[in-house]
Structure 1
């Protein structure tokens, strides 16, 4: 895991500034504290900061080139199947000087060209320059574990692992992308190819970008295969799924430095720890909790740690340092924090860095196995709404499947936020139509599958990249490599090949009938079971209290903070004269919204205030 930087000229008259590339590379020293390297040529200039994980020898430092000096590579990530690929390449006559996965990428490109990425099992973002045909190849892994940002400036294409490295390049202007800001407020990150900075884009997951003769061409090299409908699952299907989970975990334990695991006490991280323990290797686990019984999952984590005999570490968090760290993490991420557990993840990563360099996480399982039970019940909710609309006194027209879903998925819906916007912001946001187009594309891709599968594809390919961006930023801020077994593309495909009832299942016909008269918050995980197949596969291996508990997520008491001890701080920051957020929200309307009466423990309000607060801190830091 590392930080990468690159500058490639798009036409012969463009000039590359080595000093600028060196300065941009130094901006990423937190991502790679172990080594720095620069490869500078008239056509391209690459920078690299290394976090040594595989092959600690300096010979594996980057940027790396082949023996002939024809191809140069700067790379961030891990290729988990590199031992098999290396063996294959050796049989084809390739010779290796190191034991690194970096050199495997080089030789794979020399052997198979850009199509080599289709053979990689892992997480990666890299820039490769081929001097033989003056070609730049940028690549990002299938699900977006590793980030890659881009900008074209004065005839030069710039790329980097983090936006701050692009901002360090001379002449790059700073301006907020207001349409992307509106995306952030509703969906917690910028969707599609946009970033929150005007003029800076991101290479989407599962994409290649090639530059030849000054022309830029972007292609998608992978997507979930939806060509056939799921059939009824068999015992063999479930056994294969469990085998894939085990293999995904084992591959991600490959390391030449100490490895641990985040352990929340929930199902997903407990499954990861179970599979780690199955290998027979010692397992070190880490958990964090907030003071107060309502927000403490640690007893479950402790139980799992005892069950598998792990070396367990527990970190206690409280609100004061949590909010102090928010500003610092925004500077690391170059973006406002959309997810309220980001600071907690960052604080936990700082603690575990004293013990391990690599950590395995349970992220990605909720998207695969319907862990977000309420939102994955959207098809049931819409069918019930249509049924009710047929009776006297019904609500009438029911929204389209996409709009019905977005109404439930959006954190800050257009109907609520747009009246608070300034006229300029409302014009720039343009009704969030660009965001809607991203969702529409995914719905269209799965149009021949069920409504449930359309939603699942959104979660896997639109929602998940934002979550992974958070994970990358919070861990790499302190030089920790986070690995996510449930984001293995083989496992993703296997999950999409399962029928819905293997993931989200009614407990009985009676529970289904009971749900017809209840709100989703009342029946979710009471009348149904989320992640059914995971619970079934690990029913004999996990403690019952963990196996059957409801989803909690990483609990952060936002509403309690913002209605109590942090209320004056938030109001003072957002409503003060000169508040940066006034370019987005009309101050008078924002004040009225903050002061409006609402239920004492309305979690949705706390999440919205968190988004607005972070937007203010980000605007203050960068503009």
Structure 2
């Protein structure tokens, strides 16, 4: 795992500057504290900050071919590098190390730009063909590793994080209003946008090829949506475990010790068991003991650790850690409102003192229908597909209205409103922070000028149109994999872990598992109202019954409580005159109304207020 950066000046007579690439790598040292390297030739520069995991002694970057006219830098891991290395050696190539980076220039010599189709793993990489004066940027199939870039008529610059690009003086830092509308709608920015007009995120499964002053992008992989999902192996449980174990085993490629994040839930538990089986050794496991969690959650994790006979560490994260929240948010290169970023950062911070690599159970919910929203979609479809639709809607509305009186839960209101929307928007409604009308109230009118025709849903609709022929459930799963997973879950994991020099590997998001999940019929994912059905059935032979029956637990902060108590000062800061002067784009009368109603417990506006707070902290930090 590393941070990578670099640039190409399109004027071939220009000379790349060591000062420029050094400034870029300096901002990425947290991603790779073990080694920092620069390579400059004519109008090209490459930079690498290395977290040494595979061949720590011999795996310096950039890596070259024998003639040293092709160079490569890599952020991530290529899990089949040993197999590819043997194939390259049989072709006469000379490899000087066991590094996965070193296979890249040689593989490019053999296959050209199709080299990326051969590699399996999580990666963002840059390959420089010096003779052709060509740079190729590549991002892995699911977008596990990030890659940002800037492009104009004179310059292509790229980096693992936006902050490295912002060190280049010529890059325009004008805010991207469309991206901010994305952010306030969903709590994150949709690929390929960034908070700056001039900077883009390379989409997953994409190559950017810059040559002769021109740049083109193309996809090299897609979720296999044309599969019908009808084939089923009668021994599907054995088949699933066999496939997942093979992927987990490949993820154990490392020359340093590994661990696993163990929550005591189904996903991390099955990864842990298969990790132990594949490694034939003792597993190192980490659990976060969050002060706001039910202690039964910690007990489940510790019982699972006992079952595994793992070297287990419980990381205690107390209410005193609340004091770190603003400083943690300020590390972000873009506004990001998923509050689970905070506990993910804190456990990564503690785990990194012991290990460089951990495995995680992230990604199973998007592949195998683990979220309650998929059940809600099915419930809506049942009502709308019934000849008694109007009567059922009336009864449901009455029931939910009564439920709200007895329990203040925003999910009840969302379910009630979502049932009135079409199928796509009903699914998305669970994650919307501010809707279109609320966005208009949140900003002053001048700030939204010329944005009337922009909808953050347009990109989502593009994905949905590609997927909807695969059926209701699969279309929503594929949609979430292409948006929510990439722009929220994976972004959160990368930023929180790499800020602490920790690599997190995610077997459930390996493209081999995604392709397998896509081939399955829907009832092996959501069976009745049971999500992740195939995982639960397959795990019966592997896990204690208690783990199988444990309800899904979130990792989010208890925002409603915190913003009225430990973080009340942060909430009240939104009413100060200083904020109104600094952030004139916001409608402070509207925001003050949200603050007042939330603190008086008239409504739960915690997620809205948190989204505003994260934006303000990010903006003030990045304007310094």
**Cα gap change, 1:543/1:237 in structure 2, threshold over 3 Å: closer, same or farther?**
closer
Deviation track 1:315-371 (CA, whole Å, cap 9, x = no partner) reads 22234423x333333343312332111121111111111211101011111111111
| Separation of aligned partners in 2, 1:334 and 1:231 | 43
Give, in angstroms, the shift of residue 380 of structure 1: 3.1
In structure 2, list runs of 5 or more residues that go unmatched: 398-416
Match of 2:541 in 1: 540
Q: Tell me, yes or no, if the aligned pair for 1:20 and 1:170 is still in contact at 8 Å.
A: no
Match of 1:550 in 2: 551
Q: Tell me, yes or no, if the aligned pair for 1:143 and 1:205 is still in contact at 8 Å.
A: yes
Give, in angstroms, the shift of residue 153 of structure 1: 5.2
Q: Tell me, yes or no, if the aligned pair for 1:268 and 1:362 is still in contact at 8 Å.
A: yes
Match of 2:401 in 1: none
For the aligned residue pairs, the C-alpha RMSD in angstroms reads 2.3
Give, in angstroms, the shift of residue 92 of structure 1: 1.6
Q: Does 1:448 align with 2:469?
A: yes
Match of 2:238 in 1: 239
Q: Does 1:494 align with 2:516?
A: yes
> What SS does structure 1 have at the residue aligned with 2:462?
helix
What pairs with 1:2-13 in structure 2 (closer than 5 Å)? 2-12=2-12
Deviation track 1:514-533 (CA, whole Å, cap 9, x = no partner) reads xxxxxxxxxxxxxx222111
Give, in angstroms, the shift of residue 579 of structure 1: 4.2
Q: Tell me, yes or no, if the aligned pair for 1:36 and 1:48 is still in contact at 8 Å.
A: yes
Give, in angstroms, the shift of residue 166 of structure 1: 0.5
Give, in angstroms, the shift of residue 382 of structure 1: 4.0
Q: Tell me, yes or no, if the aligned pair for 2:286 and 2:351 is still in contact at 8 Å.
A: yes
Match of 1:473 in 2: 495
Q: Does 1:484 align with 2:506?
A: yes
Give, in angstroms, the shift of residue 296 of structure 1: 6.1
| Separation of aligned partners in 2, 1:295 and 1:148 | 39
Deviation track 1:406-457 (CA, whole Å, cap 9, x = no partner) reads 3333233223333222113333654651x21211111111132112111111
Q: Which stretch has the larger CA shift, 124-133 or 148-157?
A: 148-157
Match of 1:23 in 2: 23
What pairs with 1:121-520 in structure 2 (closer than 5 Å)? 121-152=120-151, 155-231=154-230, 233-279=232-278, 280-292=280-292, 294=294, 297-322=297-322, 324-385=323-384, 387=386, 390-391=390-391, 399-427=421-449, 429-430=451-452, 432-433=454-455, 435-466=456-487, 467-506=489-528
| Separation of aligned partners in 2, 1:260 and 1:359 | 4
Give TM-score scaled by structure 1 length.
0.91
**Cα gap change, 1:593/1:330 in structure 2, threshold over 3 Å: closer, same or farther?**
closer
Q: Does 1:97 align with 2:96?
A: yes
Deviation track 1:35-68 (CA, whole Å, cap 9, x = no partner) reads 11111011211111111000011x4211122121
Match of 2:405 in 1: none
| Separation of aligned partners in 1, 2:600 and 2:369 | 29
Give, in angstroms, the shift of residue 550 of structure 1: 1.2
| Separation of aligned partners in 1, 2:464 and 2:606 | 30
**Cα gap change, 1:264/1:405 in structure 2, threshold over 3 Å: closer, same or farther?**
same
**Cα gap change, 1:542/1:600 in structure 2, threshold over 3 Å: closer, same or farther?**
farther
**Cα gap change, 1:200/1:89 in structure 2, threshold over 3 Å: closer, same or farther?**
same
**Cα gap change, 1:427/1:120 in structure 2, threshold over 3 Å: closer, same or farther?**
same
| Separation of aligned partners in 2, 1:428 and 1:464 | 30
Give, in angstroms, the shift of residue 608 of structure 1: 2.3
Q: Tell me, yes or no, if the aligned pair for 1:258 and 1:356 is still in contact at 8 Å.
A: yes
| Separation of aligned partners in 1, 2:227 and 2:251 | 30
Deviation track 1:512-559 (CA, whole Å, cap 9, x = no partner) reads xxxxxxxxxxxxxxxx22211111101122121211111112142111
Q: Does 1:51 align with 2:55?
A: no
> What SS does structure 1 have at the residue aligned with 2:46?
strand
Give, in angstroms, the shift of residue 606 of structure 1: 2.2
**Cα gap change, 1:376/1:119 in structure 2, threshold over 3 Å: closer, same or farther?**
farther
Match of 1:513 in 2: none
**Cα gap change, 1:455/1:574 in structure 2, threshold over 3 Å: closer, same or farther?**
farther
Match of 1:520 in 2: none
> What SS does structure 2 have at the residue aligned with 1:40?
strand
Q: Tell me, yes or no, if the aligned pair for 1:373 and 1:504 is still in contact at 8 Å.
A: no
> What SS does structure 2 have at the residue aligned with 1:332?
coil
Q: Tell me, yes or no, if the aligned pair for 1:252 and 1:485 is still in contact at 8 Å.
A: yes
| Separation of aligned partners in 1, 2:392 and 2:496 | 52
Q: How many residues align?
A: 598
Deviation track 1:213-266 (CA, whole Å, cap 9, x = no partner) reads 111100011111111311153333332221111111111111111100111111
Q: Does 1:606 align with 2:570?
A: no
> What SS does structure 2 have at the residue aligned with 1:38?
strand
| Separation of aligned partners in 2, 1:385 and 1:146 | 40
**Cα gap change, 1:290/1:536 in structure 2, threshold over 3 Å: closer, same or farther?**
same
Give TM-score scaled by structure 2 length.
0.91
Q: Tell me, yes or no, if the aligned pair for 1:149 and 1:162 is still in contact at 8 Å.
A: yes
Match of 1:586 in 2: 587
Match of 1:74 in 2: 73
| Separation of aligned partners in 2, 1:426 and 1:318 | 41
Give, in angstroms, the shift of residue 311 of structure 1: 0.9
Give, in angstroms, the shift of residue 597 of structure 1: 6.1
Match of 2:414 in 1: none
Q: Does 1:531 align with 2:532?
A: yes
